[in-house]
């Protein structure tokens, strides 16, 4: 199961606990953008087509319990894929505000009916369960070194009903900050890219388990990033130590080859010998071996380099 589907399942599982008005607002969002309408006995009857069995069943339950309607649910199986068609009667469309009668003719509404704040949140749940998707980096399965490479956080709602777009954006931003809008083919895309905003959206929709999974990924990625920074720092220090050691050894060898090393003070010869015998040692390790300070060893090595450069 994908992360997006687990979030949707969590939302759908908790639908029964919502108030009747909120459940109807949820169904309004589900049917408002995804339905096709058929004219039957002078009424426009919406049909929901979805591959999500839980969404189909929750939509049926809301219509039966709160709108005194019994939708027709038809399942179609093609190999491993299944599709659900749920047909609602015209009364459902009227009660939800999806259609209206103008001069004796029934027509589809192009605006969203007014709703309270609690219903706005339920409406957003319906939009996400029908048109939404969310992705986050996969949690690590092994050590920090095995963690998933950089991946973006992304939550989107791709709404095909363009007439609703301005109102949908207003509803979304009244609940969660950060939504941006763009167009994709025949859909209008409302999306979030920031992990904090996505987390707020998950909380608003009641997807607590989804939010916890997101937080787990954020913690793991923080650990990985810190580990990478530490590894890079260690690597840089090693490279710096090796480069310095090579330069010092070349200088000492030059002094040795031209006979100048033996003429130097015992202190300089002692440090030179220690460096030749310990080419990979750090300044601190050399200082410890010689019972000197790090600064003292550094000055003597610098002096050896300086002497080697004199003609």
pLDDT along the chain (311 residues), means of 10: 91 90 93 75 83 92 89 86 87 84 72 88 94 81 43 86 83 91 87 90 89 80 66 70 79 82 84 83 84 87 83 64
Using DSSP's 3-state secondary structure scheme, residue 310 falls into coil
Q: Where are the domains of the chain?
A: 3-206, 240-308
Closest CA to 88 of 136, 31, 130, 42: 31
28's tokens: 């309004």
CATH class of the domain defined by 3-206:
alpha beta
pLDDT at residue 157, rounded to an integer: 93
pLDDT at residue 221, rounded to an integer: 66
Distance in angstroms (rounded) separating the CA atoms of residues 239 and 209: 45
> In sequence order, which ranges of 76-188 are alpha helices (DSSP H)?
90-96, 117-131, 165-175
Contacts of 1 (CB under 8 A, 6+ apart): 9
Q: pTM of this prediction?
A: 0.68
pLDDT at residue 139, rounded to an integer: 57
Partnered with residue 48 across adjacent β-strands are 86
Closest CA to 187 of 158, 219, 152, 148: 158
């Amino acid at each position: 199961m994908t992360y997006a589907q687990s979030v949707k399942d969590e939302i759908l599982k908790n639908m029964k606990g919502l108030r009747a008005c909120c459940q109807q607002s949820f169904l309004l969002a589900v049917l408002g953008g995804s339905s096709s309408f058929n004219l039957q006995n002078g009424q426009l009857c919406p049909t929901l087509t979805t591959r999500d069995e839980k969404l189909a069943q929750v939509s049926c339950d809301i219509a039966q319990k709160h709108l005194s309607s019994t939708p027709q649910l038809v399942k179609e199986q093609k190999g491993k894929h299944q599709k659900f068609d749920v047909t609602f009667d015209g009364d459902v469309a009227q009660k939800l505000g999806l259609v209206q009668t103008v001069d004796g003719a029934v027509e589809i509404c192009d605006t969203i009916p007014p709703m309270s704040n609690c219903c706005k949140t339920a409406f957003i749940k319906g939009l996400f369960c029908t048109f939404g998707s969310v992705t986050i980096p996969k949690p690590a399965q092994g050590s920090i070194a095995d963690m998933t490479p950089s991946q973006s956080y992304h939550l989107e709602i791709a709404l095909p009903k363009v007439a609703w777009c301005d109102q949908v954006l207003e509803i979304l931003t009244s609940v969660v900050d950060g939504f941006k809008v763009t167009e994709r083919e025949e859909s209008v895309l409302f999306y979030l890219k920031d992990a904090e905003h996505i987390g707020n959206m998950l909380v608003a929709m009641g997807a607590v388990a989804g939010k916890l999974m997101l937080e787990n990924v954020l913690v793991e990625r923080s650990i990985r990033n810190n580990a990478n920074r530490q590894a890079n720092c260690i690597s840089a220090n090693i490279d710096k130590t090796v480069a310095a050691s090579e330069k010092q050894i070349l200088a000492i060898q030059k002094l040795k080859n031209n006979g100048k090393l033996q003429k130097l003070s015992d202190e300089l010869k002692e440090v030179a010998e220690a460096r030749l015998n310990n080419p990979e040692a750090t300044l601190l390790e050399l200082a410890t071996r010689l019972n000197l300070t790090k600064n003292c060893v550094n000055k003597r090595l610098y002096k050896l380099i300086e002497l080697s450069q004199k003609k």
